[in-house]
Each structure stands twice: as C-alpha cells, then as structure tokens.
Structure 1
Amino acid sequence: MSYFSVKNIHKTWETVTVDFSLECEKGSMTCLLGPSGCGKSTVLNIISGLEKNDPEYETKLEIELDGQRIEKLPPRQRGVGMVFQSGALFNHMNVVNNVAYGLISQGMRKKEALIKASAYLPEFGLTDFDKRMPQTLSGGERQRVALARTLITEPKLVLLDEPLSALDADLRRRLAAQIREWQKKIGFTAIMVTHDVNEAEAIADKIVRFSK
C-alpha cells in the first residue's frame, strides 16, 4: 500500500480539464511538470483542502495519507504542509516568529516554540536570522524561511507550489539542490509543482507531466 494516494481529482475550466490520480511512496519527491494554466497548482490545492473538486465529482474524491482518509477533513487536520511561490511570510513578524507560528498554532507554548524555531534555523542556512524582518530578506532567504516554517511542524506530506519560480536561474538551481538535500536528510514526503524540466529532473524521484 502506498503512503499517499489521491484518486479522482476532477476540475474543469473553459479550455482545461484536470482528471488526476496519484500514488507516492514515503520519503519520495514527486514533481508535477507542465506549463502554466494546466491545473498543477489546482491539484495541490485540492489535496490540501484549499479548493474543492467539481461538484459532480466531490463524492468520488479519495485522499489517503499514512493509512488515513483525509478528503473530508479541514485543511488544518490533514497533516499537510504547503509552501507557496511567494513564500507567504507574515510581514509583521520576524523570522523566528514566522517559523514558530505553526508550532504555536498546534498548541505549543510560545516560549517553547520560539526556542525550537531558533534552534531550527541553522539547518536552513539561517543562522542569526532570528530578528530579521521578511522585507529585508532576499527571495532565496524568504523561501528558506517558508520551508523551515512548514517542516518544523513535521507534516506527513509537503506540497511545494512552484517555490523557486520567482528566483533567478542560478539561485533556483542551488536552492533546488538544497531542497533535495533537506528532503533526503529529513525524509519528508513531497509533491512539487514546476514548469522547469531541468529542475524536475534534478530533484524528483518521479515526474508526472501535464499538458494543455
């Protein structure tokens, strides 16, 4: 039995229809590869619970993660973490508070969460970044903070929605290699959306190609 599976994702727009199923092994990196507008990000949104299937297919959707059916659970209860293209950091919080946020949301005391977050930052090349504000960070630094904020909560599945697409080519290659290194070291299971074939081939155990 696979660690993660999704069956019968179905979403239709005027010119695009997504009809999608997928299985992933534990500790694997799967890339959804294809051009903009082909439904890749929609797949992640449906898995995470941020978006719904087409109404006539809603009852056919099946999502199983680590032996548990999760398609009827609210997003916070699914055990899924998500990293967006923008990083989606809280601009009114410094780096350590951003990273601690998920732990506090899970019920950890703020003092304990901040200590854990501060100790976690060096793993992502963010030593001495605790008090930095998001507005002072480079694109690559923002994405490393976003990834740390997601991974510190130990989600069962990590969804990466084109986290590198806003970066320049050289930084994109370096950060892709770092993500792969962290993924192997920590052992998290991930699905990543990208339109860059070289990026997908460098980072993925499995590539699923989308077309329009």
Structure 2
Amino acid sequence: MSYLIVRNIHKTWETVTVDFSLECEKGTMTCLLGPSGCGKSTVLNIISGLEKNDPDYEAQLEITLDGQRIEKLAPRLRGVGMVFQSGALFNHMNIVNNVAYGLISQGMKKKEALKKASDFLPEFGLSGFERRMPQTLSGGERQRVALARTLITQPKLVLLDEPLSALDADLRKRLAAQIRDWQKKMGFTAIMVTHDVSEAEAVADNIVRFSK
C-alpha cells in the first residue's frame, strides 16, 4: 500500500476543472508542474484541509496518509506541514520563535521548543539568526526559515506551494538543490508545486504535469 493515496479530488472554477488522483511512496518528492491557474495549489489545499472538494464530490474524496484516512480530519490533525510561496512568517516574532511555534502548538514546553529550534537552525544555514526579525531577512533566508519551521515538527507529509517562485533564478537553483539535499537527509515525503521545468527536474522523484 502506498504511503500517500489521494483519490477523487474534484474542483471547478471559471473555465478550470481539476480531476486528480495520486499515489506517493514514503520518502519521495513529487512535483506538480504546470502553468499558473491550472489547479496545482488547489490540490495541495484540499490535501491539507484548507479547501474542500466540490460539494457533489465531497463524499468521494479519499486521502490516506501512512495507513490513516485523513480527509475528514481538521487540518491541524492531518500530520501535514505546508510551506507557502510567501513564507508566511510571523513578523512580530523573531526567527527562533517562528521556528519553535509549531512545536509549542503541539504542546511542547516553550523553553524546550526554543532550545530545539535554536539547535535546528544551523541545518538550514541560519546560525546566529535566532534574534533576527523576518523583516530583516532576504527572500531566500525567509524561505529557509519557513522550511525549518515546517520540518522541525516532523510532519508525515510536507506540501511546498511554489516556495521558490519569488526568488531570482540563481537563488532558486541553489535553494532547489538544498531542498533536495534536506529531503534526502531527513527522509520526508513531499509534494511540491512549481511552474519551472528545471526546478521540478532538480528536486523530484516523480513529476505530474498539469495543463489548462
């Protein structure tokens, strides 16, 4: 049985219809590749619970992760972590508090979470960034913080929604290679959305192509 099984995602808006199913093995990186507006991000949002299937198809949706059906669970209970294009950092928190946030939300004591977050930052080239504020970081640094914040909680599935699209071409290439290295080292299972063919080829074990 595959580690992730997604069946019968169905979403329609304007002239776009997404009809999607997928299976992924544990420890693999799958890329959803296609132009903007074709439904790639919608797939991630439905898997994570941030969006619902079309009403007529809601009962047909099946999402199984590590042997557990999760489509009816609240987003925070699904074991899914998400990294957004913007990074979505908390601007009122310094970097170590941003990274520790998910651990504290899971019930870890703040002191322990902050220590773990501080120890985790060097993995992402962020040594000495503990007291920095998000507004002082470059785009690439912000995305590394966002990745650290997600991965420190050890989600069963990581969803990456165009995490590199706001960066320049050279930085995208370098960070894509780093994401692949982290994925191999940590062994997490991930789905990444991108419109960039070379980016998909650099990070993915499997590529699913979307079209409008």
TM-score for both structures, normalised by structure 1? 1.00
Give, in angstroms, the shift of residue 14 of structure 1: 1.6
Q: What residue ranges of structure 2 are gaps of 5+ in the alignment?
A: none
Give, in angstroms, the shift of residue 42 of structure 1: 0.2
Distance across 2 between alignment mates of 1:13 and 1:63? 22
Alignment of 1:115-154 (within 5 A): 115-154=115-154
Q: What residue ranges of structure 1 are gaps of 5+ in the alignment?
A: none
Cα deviation code 1:134-164 (max 9, x no counterpart)? 0000000000000000000000000000000
- Cα RMSD of the aligned pairs, angstroms, is 0.3
Distance across 1 between alignment mates of 2:163 and 2:152? 17
Cα deviation code 1:64-107 (max 9, x no counterpart)? 00000000000000000000000000000000000000000000
Distance across 1 between alignment mates of 2:202 and 2:100? 30
Instruction: Look up the equivalent residue of 1:22 and give its one-letter code.
Output: L
Q: Which residue of 1 aligns with 2:181?
A: 181
Q: Which residue of 2 aligns with 1:23?
A: 23
Q: Which residue of 1 aligns with 2:36?
A: 36
Give, in angstroms, the shift of residue 39 of structure 1: 0.2
Give, in angstroms, the shift of residue 181 of structure 1: 0.1
Specify the SS of the correspondent of 2:131.
coil
Distance across 1 between alignment mates of 2:203 and 2:107? 33
Alignment of 1:17-166 (within 5 A): 17-166=17-166
Distance across 1 between alignment mates of 2:150 and 2:13? 30
Instruction: Look up the equivalent residue of 2:5 and give its one-letter code.
Output: S
Runs of 4+ in 1 over 4 A off after TM superposition: none
Q: Which residue of 2 aligns with 1:12?
A: 12
Distance across 2 between alignment mates of 1:118 and 1:102? 14
Cα deviation code 1:5-29 (max 9, x no counterpart)? 1000000012100000000000000
Percent identity over paired residues: 88
Cα deviation code 1:95-128 (max 9, x no counterpart)? 0000000000000000000000000000000000
Distance across 2 between alignment mates of 1:14 and 1:177? 36
Distance across 1 between alignment mates of 2:210 and 2:45? 16
Distance across 1 between alignment mates of 2:38 and 2:68? 29
Specify the SS of the correspondent of 1:87.
coil
TM-score for both structures, normalised by structure 2? 1.00
